[in-house]
Structure 1
Amino acid sequence: MTPGQQREADEAVVAGRRALASLEEAEDALESASNWGAFDLFLGGAISSVIKHVRLGGAREALERARDDLYAFTRELRDVSDIEVLRMDVGALATTLDVLFDNVFVDLYVQKKIDDARDNVAAAIRATRVVLARLEETPR
């Protein structure tokens, strides 16, 4: 490996580690939102719906950071794709319905969106770890 290739590999590893940390932060934020969603579904009311959506806002911010870091990682790698799946779109209507008409059907819908986002983040974490492991195994 030439010094230039080594530098590029090192930059990719740094970007990959940053992306992995962001993904793990997003995973934690989604876990918190999911827990509040479960509480809201079974025992909650308007207040728990509001708290859940505050947590979802934090999860959206974490997902944005993770997506930005994954874009940087892909620029370094040039061969990682499918990062657009890191999107969580509960929607303003669902948020409004969830808070105003707090019922099990809207709660289930929102919970499904959270679960889908968690699945996407988990898949991105696995893929990032695989690529990082390959990069780190590369002879220097």
Structure 2
Amino acid sequence: MEAVMMREDLKCAEEAGVQALQSLYTVREKLNSAKKWGILDIFGGSMISTYMKHSRINEVEGMIEQARIRLTDFQKALRKVEVSPKLQTEISGFLTFADFAFDNPITDYLVQTKLQSLGEEVEDTIQLTEELLAHIRTQ
């Protein structure tokens, strides 16, 4: 009886992990788009590239919230394994304002640096989630 319950718990954890991972892959894809717009913006972009970059950033913020929810579900399913990514998506209001108002390489670079940092956090979280799923699948 206990073995059956353990298998069910592992199955639930695996399903939650797969959903979390899918959300993280979506975040990564949209974040890469924002970074590409950011690079264009640094090297001679216009207000259009600034707008597109921030449009992607706004989309990423919503997607990260969904990923956080799914990671929390995964964490609950695992019970004893902690998966709590930091995933800070906030690009300060002033930095966003400055990027639009001044639209210069310095503000573009500052935003790009934030995007790069977030990208690294997303990659770390994806790697951890993949490792946990691999461990679950060997049980």
TM-score, structure 1 as length reference: 0.94
- How far apart, CA to CA, are the structure 1 residues paired with 2:115 and 2:80? 28
Matched, 1:78 2:79: yes
Counterparts of residues 1-140 of structure 1 (less than 5 Å): 2-81=3-82, 83-138=84-139
Any gaps of 5 or more consecutive residues in structure 1?
Answer: none
- How far apart, CA to CA, are the structure 2 residues paired with 1:105 and 1:81? 38
- How far apart, CA to CA, are the structure 1 residues paired with 2:44 and 2:68? 33
One-letter amino acid of the structure 1 residue matched with residue 14 of structure 2: V
Contact 1:46 1:100 (8 Å CA) reproduced: no
Q: How many residues align?
A: 138
- How far apart, CA to CA, are the structure 2 residues paired with 1:47 and 1:63? 24
Q: How big is the alpha-carbon RMSD for the aligned residues of Structure 1 and Structure 2?
A: 1.2
Any gaps of 5 or more consecutive residues in structure 2?
Answer: none
Q: Which moved more, 1:72-81 or 1:3-12?
A: 72-81
Contact 2:14 2:137 (8 Å CA) reproduced: yes
Q: Percent identity?
A: 31
- How far apart, CA to CA, are the structure 2 residues paired with 1:81 and 1:53? 32
Contact 2:85 2:121 (8 Å CA) reproduced: no
Q: Which moved more, 1:70-79 or 1:8-17?
A: 70-79
Contact 2:37 2:53 (8 Å CA) reproduced: yes
- How far apart, CA to CA, are the structure 2 residues paired with 1:121 and 1:84? 8
* Displacement after TM superposition at 1:84 (Å): 3.8
* Displacement after TM superposition at 1:2 (Å): 1.0
* Displacement after TM superposition at 1:80 (Å): 3.5
- How far apart, CA to CA, are the structure 2 residues paired with 1:83 and 1:16? 13
One-letter amino acid of the structure 2 residue matched with residue 20 of structure 1: L
* Displacement after TM superposition at 1:91 (Å): 1.5
* Displacement after TM superposition at 1:82 (Å): 5.3
Distance 1:6-1:88 versus aligned 2 partners, 3 A rule:
same
